[in-house]
Amino acid sequence: MKLLNIISAFSEWTDHLLTRRSARTGRLGALRLDAYRSYGTAAKFYIKGRLMADPGIAPQTAADSRWRNFRSMVRRFNSREIAGADLVAELPDGSQHLVTTDDEGYFTLIIEFTLIIEPHALPAPASYLWYPVPVRTARLPTTYPLPDAVVQASANVLVPPPSAEFGIISDLDDTVFETLATNVLKMLARTLLSNAHSRLPFVGVAEFYQRLQRGRTGRTDNPFFYVSSSPWNLYDMLDEFMGIHKMPPGPLLLRDLSIARPKTTPPPGVVGSAALHFAHKLHEIEDLLTTYPALPFVLLGDSGQEDARIYREVVRRHPGRIRAIYIRDVQVPARALLVAPITEELKVEGVPMLLLADYADAAEHAAELGLIAR
């Protein structure tokens, strides 16, 4: 791990060097401020985003060739981040908050404020549950000879209403759409050569997720959160995919590609890349459960990676908080065998976990539990 951290640090240093050189020669181009969809409460907002040079990715279409998708993907990962820039976020109570981008151009704000919002009284159904938070550049670093033009964006923050019955936390890869994560080469090909239009969701997943969002009341009150080990570089593609296929909108909680020490300690026996995957997802899920202490949750994942073990750990650390767990079967027998003993363990905890091949089975099970209307 120490060697990997050294390699990561060297990679970041060379990346900053190339960015400064591009800025000096006038080849860096315009800046782009990404403000990711996030979440909060009536008294606290969590805001995250990234400042970088605009990679110049053309709009995605269903007619795009694999070669065009590949070129767009290369631009996503060959990003030129702007470190050390000061940004200002303005919250609904009128307060302004300063944050500085880190070495990878990311910024993170966790802010408590004074105005108590009524989450059930938003001005229009189009923004139901969502609060826009304007973010803009305030000062660019002197290490980059960049224009002084202000770059701005709006971070949409999800605030669940008091009427929410439960929250839903879902994985993406091999849970919502197929990525073949159990086969590295096929996964890379699927990721690099596709776009938001050419990727297709699994049959029935959008309908089931919409029913979970409506719960028993029929109102879209139940908040969705998507926790994935996919890198932030794919945010724009994943966000567009969710809209195209009418998935319930929710924060996308992805992972930084840089190698770093895990934020949460995984259980013994989980090492290497699996440990980073495990730690990232466990950390994000625990943050959500801590943010909404009165809200129970439904968890969705797949048998291809560590989801079953991660969710077992969540149940152990937060007893009484999980209503049900649904694991999509990726049709790899060895992976399914690992899920079976965890299912039996969770029965003792009173938490049903279903290994399923069809989301219609999940819907039937959820209806029996009283999570959704029949």
- Structural domains in the chain? 2-158 (2.60.40.10), 167-369 (3.40.50.1000)
Determine which of 5-9, 197-201, 235-239, 288-292 has the lowest per-residue pLDDT on average: 5-9
Q: In the structure, what pLDDT confidence band is assigned to residue 22 with cuts at 50, 70 and 90?
A: low
The pTM of this model reads 0.86
52 in Cβ contact with 82 (< 8 Å): yes
Percent of the chain with pLDDT over 90: 50
Q: In the structure, what pLDDT confidence band is assigned to residue 106 with cuts at 50, 70 and 90?
A: very high
Q: In the structure, what pLDDT confidence band is assigned to residue 143 with cuts at 50, 70 and 90?
A: low
Give the per-residue pLDDT at 199.
Answer: 87
Q: In the structure, what pLDDT confidence band is assigned to residue 276 with cuts at 50, 70 and 90?
A: confident
Whether 11 shows a pLDDT value over 60: the answer reads: no
Nearest to residue 330, comparing CAs of 310, 356, 362, 367?
356
CA distance 6 to 9: 5
333 in Cβ contact with 204 (< 8 Å): no
Whether 287 shows a pLDDT value over 90: the answer reads: yes
CA distance 66 to 208: 30
Nearest to residue 173, comparing CAs of 302, 332, 326, 280?
302
DSSP state of 358: -
Mean pLDDT of the region 291-295: 95
Mean pLDDT of the region 118-144: 68
Mean pLDDT of the region 21-49: 80
| Burial classification of residue 147, based on how many CB atoms lie within 10 Å of its CB (0-12 exposed, 13-18 middle, 19 or more buried) | exposed
Mean pLDDT of the region 235-255: 94
- Residues 48-105 pLDDT 10s: 999 988 888 888 888 888 888 888 888 888 888 888 999 999 877 678 899 999 988 9
Mean pLDDT of the region 296-317: 94
CA distance 70 to 19: 22
46 in Cβ contact with 157 (< 8 Å): yes
373 in Cβ contact with 364 (< 8 Å): no
Quote the strand ranges of the chain, DSSP E.
Answer: 31-35, 38-40, 44-53, 86-90, 96-100, 106-112, 130-139, 152-158, 167-170, 224-231, 252-255, 297-302, 322-328, 353-356
161 in Cβ contact with 136 (< 8 Å): no
CA distance 368 to 212: 13
Mean of all residue pLDDT scores within the chain: 83
Mean pLDDT of the region 172-198: 80
Nearest to residue 84, comparing CAs of 72, 101, 107?
101
The CA radius of gyration of the chain, in Å to the nearest whole number, is 21
* Top-confidence residue, 326 or 149: 326
CA distance 297 to 284: 14
| DSSP assignment of 36-70 | --EEE-SSEEEEEEEEEE---PPPP-TT--HHHHH
Both tokens of 128, joined, read 């139901």
Mean pLDDT of the region 215-242: 93
35 in Cβ contact with 101 (< 8 Å): no
Both tokens of 134, joined, read 């304007």
Give the per-residue pLDDT at 64.
Answer: 84
141 in Cβ contact with 272 (< 8 Å): no
Whether 257 shows a pLDDT value over 80: the answer reads: no
157 in Cβ contact with 47 (< 8 Å): yes
